[in-house]
Structure 1
Amino acid sequence: MERPYILHMFTPGRQMSPFDVNMAADAGYQVIVPYCEVGLDAVKGLTQDTIFSRGPKGVARTGIFIGGRSALLAMDMLDRARESMVPPFVVSVMADPSGAYSTAAAMVACVDAALQARQGHGLANQRVVVLGGTGPVGRVAGVLAASVGAEVFLSSREGVEAAETAARETGGRFKVRLRGISGHGPEAVRTSIGQADVVLGCAAAGVQVVSAEDLEFATRLKVAADVNAVPPEGIAGVGVMDDAVPLSGTDAVGIGALAIGNVKYQTQHRLLLQMIKADKPVVLGCAEAFDTARAYLDEKRRG
């Protein structure tokens, strides 16, 4: 009898996301085991318990998934798990805290594709403002946009100091340049989006960060994308199903939460399949999620 596919799921939180458990099962993992309240210091021991118990053949059917809510801690845990392997006892590892890596990858890939289709260029040299930029999706979206040459500003409703702190921490951890900008109040938001080519709405569900009146100031805006699926829209006028639909009152197009969510789903599913099907163990973080999202959109475009 063949050995089952086993996925060990580590999270610093009190519970593992049911969404991620469902995704793992749908990808083909047969045994899925969550480990909760896992700190960074516990990762090495859990990883080595994972690898040594199955033998060189068994590790090919074993994976580790890292969840939680922190984009930075998840990357640290991913690195710690990778460093804890002892060849030939090596398993595939994937991180996607609160879906932040796959959601941000889908969002930025959709924006880049919309720019290519509408403007004839991607995100390189574009000014990107990330509203809700101190949260996990906002931070990673900023990292991915910066990785392809965008000038990225993380915005915070708490003001410029909070934004600059998040930009410094996140940029340093992922080795990209990020800047902070204030999103404290309508005047600050209007100033920031008035200078933006792209606005990414990554605020909490049900929070509108850009009103219709605010959009009147976005005179150079090309694309607005919003991951908020809970009314009201995070960016006024961007419907959840919009997929590069003209945004009323602007020269831009809007990309909504469900259009992004479909790409996010495909991205996470494909990453989990990579772990199962890989001939050699893989390590999958936000960069790999971005590559996967872009590949999916390219396949979709080519039919």
Structure 2
Amino acid sequence: MERPYVLHLFTPGPRVSPFDVNMAADAGWEVLMPYTGVAADDVASLVQDAIFSRGPKGAARTGLFVGGRDVLLADEMLARARKAMFPPFVVSLCADPSGAYTTSAAMVACTETALGRADGGNLEGREVLLLGGTGPVGRIAAVLCARRGAHAVLGSHRGADAAEAAAAATGERFGVAIDAVSTANAGALRAALAEAEVVMAVAGAGVQVAGEDDLATAKHLRVAVDLNAVPPSGLAGVGASDDGKPLAGTSAVGIGALAVGNIKFKVQHALLARMRESERPVVLGFEEAYALAREVLAGKDH
């Protein structure tokens, strides 16, 4: 009898995401084992328990998935998992805390596609403002944008201190420069929008971060992305299903939550399937998710 495909899911929180469990099952993983309350210091022993118990042949049918909500901690846990393994005891790894890696990858890839359609350009040299950007998706999207030559700016309604702390910690962890700005009042928000060529609304569900009058001040705006599918929209005038629709009152096109979510879903499925199907162990994070999102948008099947 062939050994089953076993995926171990690590989370620092009290429960694993049902979304991740369903996605992993649909990608062909047969045994799903959740581990909750996992600290970074726990990772090495858990990983070694997983790899030594199955031997080198069983490694090909074993995977480790890192979830949770803290994107910086997830990166640390992924690094510790890699360090805990050595040939021939090596298994595939994937991280997607709070879905932030795949969501941010899909959002950034959709943005680049829209920029290419609009003026033939990409993110190089663009001013990218992330509203509500101190959360998991905003931080990783900022990293992806910065690595592609954009000037990424995290905006926070809680003020400059919150934005600066998130930008500094994230930039240090991933080796990029990320700026910060307060959007705590209308004046600060509009000053930030006045410079932006791309705006990404990544705040919580049902939170509008920019109204029509605010967006009218964004004279350089080319692409507006809104991840909020719960009314009211995060960016006024951007519908959840919009995918390159002109945004009234601006020179931009809008991309809505469902358009991004469709790509995110395909990317996460592809990552989990790649872990299971790969003949050699793979390590999959937000850069790999971004590359897959670009492939999906280019029309390649996954």
Structure 1-normalised TM-score? Answer: 0.98
Q: Any residues of structure 2 matched to 1:282-301 within 5 Å, and which?
A: 282-299=282-299
Q: Any residues of structure 2 matched to 1:192-231 within 5 Å, and which?
A: 192-231=192-231
- How far 1:195 moved relative to its partner? 0.7
Aligned to 1:274: 274
Name the SS for the 1:299 alignment partner: coil
Aligned to 1:188: 188
Letter in 2 for 1:170: T
- How far 1:232 moved relative to its partner? 0.6
- CA distance in structure 1 between the partners assigned to 2:156 and 2:282 by the alignment: 35
- How far 1:77 moved relative to its partner? 0.4
Q: Say whether residues 1:259 and 2:259 are aligned partners.
A: yes
Aligned to 1:119: 119
1:25-69 deviations in Å (ceiling 9; x for gaps)? 000000001000101010011000010011111110000000000
Aligned to 1:178: 178
- CA distance in structure 1 between the partners assigned to 2:124 and 2:299 by the alignment: 22
Aligned to 2:78: 78
1:167-222 deviations in Å (ceiling 9; x for gaps)? 11101101111011111112111111111000000001110001111111011100
Letter in 2 for 1:17: S
Aligned to 2:21: 21
Moved over 2 A (4+): none
Aligned to 1:137: 137
1:223-261 deviations in Å (ceiling 9; x for gaps)? 000111111100011100000110011110000000000
Letter in 1 for 2:237: G
- How far 1:86 moved relative to its partner? 2.4
Letter in 2 for 1:22: N
Q: Say whether residues 1:66 and 2:66 are aligned partners.
A: yes
Aligned to 2:245: 245
- CA distance in structure 2 between the partners assigned to 1:147 and 1:299 by the alignment: 24
Letter in 2 for 1:130: L
Aligned to 1:151: 151
- How far 1:299 moved relative to its partner? 2.0
Name the SS for the 1:165 alignment partner: helix
Aligned to 2:31: 31
Letter in 2 for 1:166: A
- CA distance in structure 2 between the partners assigned to 1:236 and 1:53 by the alignment: 54
- CA distance in structure 1 between the partners assigned to 2:287 and 2:123 by the alignment: 16
| Coordinate RMSD, CA, aligned | 0.9
- CA distance in structure 2 between the partners assigned to 1:46 and 1:132 by the alignment: 35
Q: Tell me the number of residue pairs that the alignment of Structure 1 and Structure 2 aligns.
A: 301
Letter in 2 for 1:32: L
- How far 1:119 moved relative to its partner? 1.0
Letter in 1 for 2:70: S
- CA distance in structure 1 between the partners assigned to 2:72 and 2:184 by the alignment: 24
Q: Which ranges of structure 1 fall in alignment gaps of 5 or more residues? A: none
* Identity within the alignment, %: 57
Say which is worse superposed, 31-40 or 290-299, in terms of deviation.
Answer: 290-299
Q: Say whether residues 1:87 and 2:109 are aligned partners.
A: no
1:115-165 deviations in Å (ceiling 9; x for gaps)? 011110111100000011110000001000111110110111111121111
Name the SS for the 1:155 alignment partner: strand
Name the SS for the 2:232 alignment partner: coil
- CA distance in structure 1 between the partners assigned to 2:14 and 2:227 by the alignment: 25
- CA distance in structure 1 between the partners assigned to 2:267 and 2:105 by the alignment: 8
Letter in 1 for 2:221: L
- How far 1:83 moved relative to its partner? 0.5
Letter in 2 for 1:109: A
Letter in 2 for 1:156: S
